Amino acid sequence: MKLGDLPTPALCADRAALEANLRSMAEGLPGRRMRPHVKAHKCTALARRQADLGHVAFTCATIREMEGLAAAGLGEDLLLANEVLDAHRLGALDARVTVAVDSEETIAAAARGGVREVLIDVNVGLPRCGCPPAAAGGLADRARAAGLEVRGVMGYEGHAMPIEDVARRAEVTEQAMALLTAAHAEVGGDVVSAGGTCTWAVNTWATEIQAGSYALMDHSYAYADLPFRPSLFVLGRVISVSDAFAVADAGLKALAMDHGSSDVEGGSVWFYSDEHVTFAPAAPLRPGDLIRVLPKHVDPTVAKHPRLHLLEGDEVVDVWEIDLRDW
């Protein structure tokens, strides 16, 4: 199959760029130093390739991702890095399951659901989930009293990711990890789980890094200091042309815009609507011509599509199902 044979909009990745990203991370953080976050790609075929390169422990954001990896035989060490109040589906999995907890309620849910291991989730500066650092030790005591094994702590310095200047990014990461290591001293355990694609090299405090975007790579995170380059794009087809602009069939329903408007290769975007992107092309186009749209945020873009097409040039060499969608 050729690129032009695909129905559009279609989710595509350059195979060589994807493989280079995977190998760079495998060399930089080998084995258990890296726990890939599958929320970025929601694809067991890609997770299996990560495991082939030595990354056999995985981070998940949803119970569905945990279930899918376990069913695919990738359940050696799965972490749900998210709070849940009904853990029965997790307790039923044939896999090693750890879940993040940050309250008495989530501890009780883990125990009721049959989960045996937890990490204490600590707020290290991103106002999302996580307990105050000073509360981590007490929650660890409550978890152990409930019969759970506390493996350690986790905390996500997500507020450092958008900082392009590497020195400032490292400084914010150090501040966040000071909070996490202090909490770890009170909690105990072997695991300090943190980090992401943009802090993978500067976070030297975590025992494992939870990077996810690096494989497909957000265009908004293509910083000069990172060895990872965007491999993902959405293929669109021009459906209408006027003197000043062109319209293609890759709109809001095919692309996530939470990190900013996606760029059209060889064009200047005017606006997106449900099914369309209107843009000024750099060179004349005709209806039927193909364009490439470069998503700023891969995670929610991937979740909009049923499959990923791997390309070598204009040849489709493989098709991977995006089989970890839903919750």
Give the pLDDT score at 15: 98
Residue 318 banded pLDDT, cuts 50, 70, 90: very high
Strand partners, 54: none
CATH number of 187's domain: 3.20.20.10
Q: For 307, list phi and psi in degrees, rounded to 5.
A: -155, 160
Residue 255 within any structural domain of the chain: yes
* pLDDT higher than 90, residue 7: yes
Same structural domain, 202 and 298: no
Task: Give the count of domains, the chain.
Answer: 2
Spatial CB neighbours of 198, under 8 Å, sequence gap ≥ 6: 160, 161, 162, 163, 169, 221, 223, 226
Does some domain include residue 221? no
Helix (H) or strand (E) holding 269: strand 267-272
**In a 3-state reduction of DSSP, which class is residue 283?**
coil
* Same domain as 204, residue 277: no
Looking at the structure, tell me whether residues 187 and 279 fall in a common domain: no
In this prediction, residue 222 has a pLDDT band, given cuts at 50, 70 and 90, of confident
pLDDT in tens, 167-200: 999 999 999 999 999 999 999 999 999 999 999 9
Q: Is the pLDDT of residue 212 over 90?
A: yes
Residue 291 lies in domain: 3-11+229-321
- Number of CB atoms found within 10 A of residue 300's CB: 15
Confirm whether 283 is domain-assigned. yes
State whether 7 and 64 are in the same domain. no
Assigned domain for 149 exists = yes
Instruction: Give how far Cα 53 sits from Cα of 34, 194, 289, Å.
Output: 11, 21, 38
pLDDT above 90 covers what percent of the chain? 100
pLDDT digits (tens, 9 = 90+) for 105-128: 999 999 999 999 999 999 999 999
Classified as helix, coil or strand, 185 is helix
Is residue 268 left, alpha or beta, with left meaning phi > 0 and alpha meaning psi from -120 to 50? beta
Co-location of 191 and 259 in the same domain: no
Q: What is the mean pLDDT of residues 276-286?
A: 97
Residue 118: phi and psi, rounded to 5, are -140, 160
Q: Per residue in 127-162, pLDDT tens?
A: 999 999 999 999 999 999 999 999 999 999 999 999
Q: Residue 274: which pLDDT band, with cuts at 50, 70 and 90?
A: very high
Classify residue 326: in a domain, yes or no: no
Q: Which helix (H) or strand (E) holds 150?
A: strand 149-155
Among candidate residues 257, 297, 19, the one with its CA nearest the CA of residue 158: 297
Is the separation of the CB atoms in 121 and 102 below 8 Å? yes
The pLDDT, as a whole number, for residue 210 is 98
The reply to whether 123 and 245 lie within a common domain is: no
Q: Is residue 327 a contact partner of residue 62, using CB atoms and an 8 Å limit? A: yes
Q: Looking at the predicted structure, is the pLDDT value of residue 202 above 90?
A: yes
| Claim to verify: residue 171 and residue 289 sit in the same structural domain | no
**Assigned domain for 211 exists:** yes
pTM of the model: 0.96
- In the prediction, which pLDDT does 28 show? 98
Say yes or no: 152 and 165 in one domain: yes
Residue appearing with tokens 């749209």: 293
Mean pLDDT in residue range 54-61: 98
Per the DSSP assignment, residues forming a β-bridge with 131 are: 122
Residue 45 belongs to some domain of the structure: yes
Average pLDDT for the chain: 97
- Examine the fold and report which residue of 162, 184, 216 is the final residue of a domain before the chain moves on: 216
Classify residue 114 as exposed, middle or buried by CB count within 10 Å of its CB (0-12, 13-18, 19+). middle
